[in-house]
Chain A
Amino acid sequence: MSDDQVQVIEARLLSKHYGSYTAVDAVDVKVRRGEFWGLLGPNGAGKTTFLRMITGAIAPSSGSLRVLEYPIPAQARPMRRRIGVVPQLDNLDPDFSVVENLRTYAGYFGLSGPDLDTHIEGLLGFAALESKRDARISALSGGMQRRLSLVRALVNQPDLLILDEPTTGLDPQARQLMWQRLRELKSKGITVVLTTHYMEEAQRLCDRITIMDHGRLLDSASPSELIKRHIEPHVVEVYGDDAEAWHRGVGAGLADRSEQVGETWLYYALDEEPLVDALKACHGISYLHRPANLEDVFVKLTGRELREA
């Protein structure tokens, strides 16, 4: 078996029920070594439950699960020795400084000594936190805290890294830096599992994306393949006071598919020219022509209604 054929995660008919509620419903997942895999879904889709089964925090109701070839949850402890987890909400230790956080966390893996010291220095550099090594957690910005959470998850040199919404709440600069670091990790061959609500993040980072809703997997492919599969290549968004009238009179006939979202009309087309030409000729109407993106796929597959879990 060649290296990239090795399955880092292999779930078969994996389910989790809470009473009559099904959080994860008979999912099959395979993640290859070295893959950067994104798991997307609205709130309550079952992503976090799935991740918690992967780490052995909760036991599946049925189905089988292997992570790094360990059967889970039976062998969760030795498996956890080889994974890193960046949680959705930071749980850094507020009583310790930056470097003490890393050292304490390494202690849970039984790591200490000069090798660890060297490794920690490298991690501080990687997180751009050298100047903050003795700072308290409360003195760090949101971006610094997320980067510390990231390198804390690397303290045991894991083979699999699990990131649960790693950039939620970060400003664009901090997010860019995080993305850059994640790409560096990917280039080193580490397998990454990512959940996120930022479609741009998933589109830029992931080799493969799976969209999940109501505990089921809806589709799985590379970002570009997913877009090609579900959405016409061109999207034109039309908005403004006259959009409604324009749609009824002109727009509806020019697109392959259209829908109204709030005050905006969305047109999906294989050939965008007739639409764009018509819009150019029409004054007093605003429009945006853009390529189809992952958000279009996401919304098409999971619907537009608001999820407030």
Chain B
Amino acid sequence: MAVTWRQLLDCLRGGRWRAVWWRNFRVWQRLAGPAILGNFGEPLLYLLALGYGLGSFVGDMQGMRYIVFLASGIVVSSAMTTASFEGMYSAYTRMEVQRTWESILTTPLSVADVVFGEAVWGATKSVFSGVAILLVATVLGAVGDARAILVLPLVLLTGLCFASMSLVVTAVSRSYDFFLYYTTLVITPMLLIGGVFFPLDRMPQAIQIAAQALPLTHAVALIRPLVIGTTPHHVVLHLLVLGLYTLVPLMLAVRLVNRRMGG
């Protein structure tokens, strides 16, 4: 683990990971049209359909209109899914199918540079989607006040966290099918009990406790208040949990990819 830690520190100090980020950004730019359409279109449809449709049955939730509750949750869940899918399917393509990582690793870049560059790129895509959702939510009147701008660095951290976790899965994956395990067993349950679509306080005790162990719950606890125009509580605790869920997977991913590429 000490070797991995040193490689990661060296990566952060050297800044070479930016070349990996830049490569991915340039590819994204080429296909930016449909990507941006998706960033705006999807949350718009969800917010209109669920926010107004379901919202008319639900009425208020935790003292706010359902569309407000939902918009502040979708910012977070979208950060999770965007970063996770980038860290799984797209990163796997670059690692295994196009062998882009292999070509990068014959240059001065290390495995840590590649993994961290990929993680920051996944987080960046989360921010793209977060910006789009906040704009849509603002137009629909679902954003409280200017505090919402503070959401963006938190979305970056949330994206970094989930990108790092999915890169661990990618590092041990033998095919695209393998990602279904992670999506079904980790991402979807988290989406459902993380407090995105409904609050947790009426759920069974056991689920409430389990939810507290998951990173998404803490991201929601930080981001929702800022979107609706209040101030989050227990900020340090939530940041610590997200930080831990970023750092440990990141180190694990570096270690596993080192082993895999060193084959």
Contacts and interface: CB of A to CB of B under 8 A. Distances in A.
Interface of A: 55, 57-59, 77-78, 80-81, 83, 85, 87, 89, 91-96, 100, 104-105, 107-110, 156
Given A91-B99, A108-B19, 9 more contacts: A78-B108, A81-B107, A85-B106, A87-B106, A89-B99, A91-B100, A93-B23, A100-B26, A104-B26
A87 B19 contact: no
A108 B262 contact: no
A110 B100 contact: no
Contacts of B27: 95-96
B65 interface: no
B262 A59 contact: yes
B56 interface: no
A239 B108 CA distance: 54
B30 A95 contact: yes
Contacts of B104: 108
B103 interface: yes
Contact of A57 (B98, B108, B261): B261
A48 B99 CA distance: 17
Contacts of B105: 57
B26 A96 contact: yes
A60 to B, nearest CB: 12
Nearest to B110: A77
Contacts of A105: 103, 107
B10 to A, nearest CB: 9
A57 B262 contact: yes
Given A57-B261, A110-B19, A80 B102 contact: no
Size category, B interface: 20 to 34
Contacts of B108: 77-78, 80-81, 108-110
Nearest to A152: B103
Contacts of B261: 57
Contacts of A156: 107
Given A89-B99, A94-B98, A95-B30, A107 B23 contact: yes
A93 B100 contact: yes
Interface in B51-80: none
B109 interface: yes
Contacts of A78: 108
B48 to A, nearest CB: 34
14 contacts: A57-B262, A58-B262, A77-B110, A81-B108, A83-B106, A85-B106, A87-B106, A91-B98, A93-B100, A93-B103, A95-B30, A108-B19, A108-B108, A109-B108
Contacts of A95: 27, 30
Interface centre among A58, A110, A156 (most CB of B within 10 A): A110
A136 B100 CA distance: 16
B107 A108 contact: yes
A87 B103 contact: yes
A35 B255 CA distance: 37
A224 to B, nearest CB: 33
B166 to A, nearest CB: 21
Nearest to B23: A104
Contacts of A77: 108, 110
A152 to B, nearest CB: 8
Contacts of B110: 77
Contacts of A83: 106
Contacts of B107: 80-81, 105, 108-109, 156
Given A85-B106, A109-B108, A58 B263 contact: yes
Interface centre among B99, B102, B103 (most CB of A within 10 A): B103
B22 interface: yes
A108 B109 contact: yes
Contacts of B102: 87, 91
